[in-house]
């Protein structure tokens, strides 16, 4: 929930000055998540890994197919193909909840997002196979012109008003529309509703159960991307260990008394990693 300070800032329109930067507010709880999403090499690795799997699946799908254009790969856009974290960082600094979505339309029109790691190589490869590429995003349909401009600026293949399907109809309806003329062999996205309406349930517990029931689809027909920055899980209750804290220094935790050489011969001045 917003603090009083946050609410005051949220009500101001158009103020982006330095006096709004670094204000203590509830949105700062997302700081570590955005740092992970934007800066960590681990997220880059997961993105490359996802697109590596996707490349294998496309190659398997088109092998021996006389007309690869009868097949389709369907991708979400935001945090699957394009990286919107500069917008999130700006809003974080301005003490504004970016997951209220009221700053996104300006970004969609005038922002210059970069590509998710591995996206360009995958899309160019898929295009070369002759498979149909369809982009299905919940950006609203009145933003189609600016979205097409962004995708063309990024030099992505098969970008057209017919191939970029934005919000008007639901995502299941738009996937059904693609299925009229193509067999969808692969779906890529950063949220579960990018894959199947099975996941359109409010309970996070039930959604996790549906994930488990459909676990064999992930890495096969469904390729999911990491997005720690936003989702309807971000206000969920956390389950913690209820034991009283016990604090021990690093050497004690390693089981080797300070000043004693480690059996493998390394000094005990290493920075711990996990």
Residue 248's pLDDT is: 86
Structure pTM?
0.84
pLDDT tens-place string over residues 1-22: 323 333 333 334 344 443 444 4
Spans of the chain, pLDDT less than 50: 1-23, 268, 270
What is the CB neighbour count within 10 angstroms for residue 208? 12
Cβ contact 83:68 at 8 Å: no
**Mean of all residue pLDDT scores within the chain:** 88
pLDDT digit string (tens) for 82-124?
999 999 999 999 999 999 999 999 999 999 999 999 999 999 9
pLDDT, position 242 = 94
- Domain 41-76+107-224 fold is Rossmann fold (3.40.50)
Looking at residue 235, its pLDDT comes to: 87
Q: Under 8 Å CB-to-CB from 7, ≥6 apart: which residues?
A: none
């Amino acid at each position: 929930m917003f603090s009083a300070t946050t609410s005051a800032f949220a009500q101001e329109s158009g103020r982006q000055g330095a006096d709004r930067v670094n204000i203590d507010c509830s949105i700062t709880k997302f700081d570590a998540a955005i740092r992970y999403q934007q800066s960590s090499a681990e997220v880059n690795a997961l993105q490359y890994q996802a697109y590596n799997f996707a490349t294998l699946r496309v190659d398997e799908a088109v092998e021996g197919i006389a007309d690869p254009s009868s097949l389709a790969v369907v991708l979400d856009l935001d945090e699957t193909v394009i990286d919107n974290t500069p917008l999130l960082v700006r809003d974080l600094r301005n003490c504004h909840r970016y997951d209220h979505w009221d700053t996104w339309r300006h970004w969609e029109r005038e922002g210059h997002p970069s590509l998710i790691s591995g996206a360009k190589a995958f899309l160019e490869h898929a295009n070369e196979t002759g498979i149909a590429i369809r982009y299905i995003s919940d950006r609203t349909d009145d933003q189609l012109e600016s979205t097409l401009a962004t995708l063309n600026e990024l030099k992505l293949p098969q970008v057209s008003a017919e191939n970029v399907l934005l919000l008007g109809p639901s995502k299941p309806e738009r996937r059904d529309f693609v299925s009229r003329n193509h067999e969808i062999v692969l779906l890529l996205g950063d949220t579960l509703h990018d894959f199947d309406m099975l996941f359109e349930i409010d309970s996070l517990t039930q959604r996790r159960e549906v994930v488990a029931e459909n676990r064999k689809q992930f890495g096969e027909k469904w390729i999911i991307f990491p997005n720690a920055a936003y989702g309807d899980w971000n206000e969920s209750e956390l389950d913690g260990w209820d034991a009283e804290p016990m604090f021990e220094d690093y050497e004690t935790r390693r089981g080797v008394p300070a000043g004693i050489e480690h059996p493998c011969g390394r000094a005990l001045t290493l920075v711990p990693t996990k």
